[in-house]
A = this chain, B = another copy of it.
Amino acid sequence: MWEFLLEFLRMSAFGNLEVGNLIMIAIGLLFIYLAITKDYEPLLLIPIGFGMLVGNIPFAEGMGIGFREPNTVLSILYDGVNRGWFPPLIFLGIGAMTDFSALLSNPKLLFLGAAAQAGIFITLLGALALNFTAPEAGAIGIIGGADGPTAIFLASKLAPHLLGAIAVSAYSYMALVPVIQPPIMRLLTTKDERLIRMKPPRAVSKKEKVLFPILGFLATCFLVPGALNLLGMLFFGNLLKESGVTERLAVTARTSLIDIVTIILGFSVGVSTEARSFLTKESVLIFALGALAFSIATASGVLFAKMMNLFLKGDNRINPLIGAAGVSAVPDSARVVHVVGQEYDKSNFLLMHAMGPNVAGVIGSAIAAGVLWSVLRSMQ
């Protein structure tokens, strides 16, 4: 009977199997394992991981299954990634669940979110040095924004052939934030700096919270219309949340809507990692550049905080650890900051302060994506 089974297997889909598929399936299983046992970004790693299994079942070409063939179910589900309309809907939901109070109570933390975007541009330089074209380099650089939907959006516009590698790289490093960031944070700060206590956040009025999404939208999108799709939706969602009169819309945006899009987006991204197009030299380089991007982004945030301290006094000083939260990866990097801070002073609660640069980092990388899109889209 085992003989028969083996023979049968040879004739079936096992016939098309390549080693690459097995490797990708193993990676998919690893993603699922990490999500379940380590709780690493499970809402994304599980859909992506299972999508990897689905995309690497070695079916024959032309069977009407693959996500690259027209009118297949997988291609229809992939449309929101392919044409880039899933990320703005996710930003709508994120806006409807984000509380900008931390930023409003201490606006200067915005600049930490700006500084951390240096990771994007230095990675772009690295990608250019490795002979990627300019649009590809821009799409790779955005991994340093540490923001999944932004990375998928820009990659779908500038380098759709690299989308799978860029998205998987971005989410992998976002999941690894607690591993990557602490050593860099410790290396670049003195013990005294890590012990800095920041003054408690001031009260933020309802009016400020309502006006913030409107003013924030006008301020950023007048400057960078290319960031309109992402920032427009982010601030729109936040207005739904803060207006006080559209609660039911905000609830739907941050529950059913974002969940439906997250399920299909994650699954589709996973499906798009078919071994033959994914296991390439480019993907390896993209993963290496992604690690660089996260490290530089973290370092830039911390160093900029130290620089700001040169101009600040007393309890206005910033604990430079929170600079690391400027990379986005909401809210993981803010938590990492908090936990590292508590290693040195159990009564120092940095989480609330770190949320400021954290959400500023989301805005910052969306602006950077808008700049890259505007400049690089004509070069494809």
Q: Measuring CB to CB, which residues of chain A are less than 8 angstroms from any residue of chain B?
A: 9, 12-14, 25, 29, 32, 35-36, 39, 42-43, 46-47, 50-51, 53-54, 57-60, 63-65, 71, 73-74, 76-77, 83-85, 88, 92, 157, 210, 214, 217-218, 221-226, 228-229, 232, 235-236, 239-240, 243-246, 248-249, 251-253, 255-257, 259-260, 262-263, 267, 373-374, 377
12 residue pairs of the A-B complex, CB under 8 angstroms, read A13-B222, A13-B223, A29-B214, A42-B243, A47-B236, A47-B249, A53-B217, A54-B221, A57-B232, A64-B157, A240-B263, A256-B260
Among B43, B85, B223, contact of A12 (Cβ-Cβ < 8 Å): B223
Q: In the complex, what residues of B have CB within 8 A of residue A14's CB?
A: 222
Whether the pair A255, B248 counts as a contact (CB closer than 8 A) is yes
> How far, in angstroms, from A246 to B266 measured CA to CA in the complex?
12
- The one of B53, B65, B224 in contact with A218, judged by C-beta atoms closer than 8 angstroms, is B53
In angstroms, how far is the closest chain B Cβ from the Cβ of A232? 4
Note all chain B residues with C-beta closer than 8 A to A257: 256, 259-260, 263
Write the nearest CB–CB distance from A155 to chain B, whole angstroms: 15
Chain B: minimal CB distance from A143 (Å): 21
Give the residues in chain B near A29, CB-CB below 8 Å: 214
Nearest-neighbour CB distance to chain B for A138, whole angstroms, equals: 14
**CB-CB nearest in chain B for A59:** B225
- Asked if residues A249 and B43 are in contact (CB atoms below 8 Å), the reply is yes
Copies of this chain assembled into the complex: 3
A263 touches B252 (CB 8 A): yes
The docked-state distance in angstroms from the alpha carbon of A253 to that of B258 is: 12
Cα separation A53 to B219 with both chains bound (whole Å): 12
B39/A224 in contact, CB under 8 A: no
Q: Is the pair B57, A83 in contact by a Cβ cutoff of 8 Å?
A: no
In the complex where A252-B255, A263-B252 touch, is A243 in contact with B36 (Cβ < 8 A)? yes
Q: Which of B42, B83, B252 contacts A246 (CB 8 A)?
A: B42
> In this complex, what residue of B is CB-closest to A259?
B252
Indicate the member of A73, A226, A249 with the most B CB atoms within 10 Å: A73
Given contacts A32-B239, A53-B217, A65-B228, contact A246 B46 (CB under 8 A): yes
Q: Bound complex: CA of A59 vs CA of B36, how far in Å?
A: 44
Contacts of A221 in B (CB 8 A): 13, 54, 57
Known: A223-B12, A224-B13. A263 touches B253 (CB 8 A): yes
B85→A76 contact, CB < 8 A = yes
Q: Cβ of A249 and Cβ of B245 under 8 Å apart?
A: no
Chain B residues lying within 8 Å of A43, measured Cβ to Cβ, are: 245-246, 248-249
**In the complex, which residues of chain B have a beta carbon less than 8 angstroms from the beta carbon of A83?**
71, 73, 76
A259 touching B263, Cβ below 8 Å = no
Question: In the complex, which residues of chain B have a beta carbon less than 8 angstroms from the beta carbon of A51?
Answer: 236
**Minimum-distance CB pairs A-B, first 7:** A59-B225, A42-B245, A252-B259, A256-B256, A54-B232, A13-B225, A76-B85
- Cβ contacts under 8 Å, A25 to chain B: 218
**Which B residues lie within 8 Å of A157 (CB)?**
64
Write out the residue numbers on chain B whose beta carbons fall within 8 Å of the beta carbon of A36: 210, 243-245
Pairwise interchain contact A57-B236, C-beta atoms closer than 8 A: no
Contact in complex: A226, B63 (CB < 8 Å): yes
B47, B53, B223: the one within 8 Å of A214 (CB): B53
A73 near B88 with CB under 8 A, answer yes
Residues of B within 8 A of A85 (CB): 73, 76-77
State in angstroms the CA–CA spacing of A243 and B71 once bound together: 31
User: How far apart are the CA atoms of A232 and B379 in the complex, in Å?
Assistant: 38
Q: Indicate which residue in B47, B58, B251 contacts A225 across the interface (CB closer than 8 Å).
A: B58
Pick from B35, B58, B240, B255: contact of A243, CB under 8 Å: B35
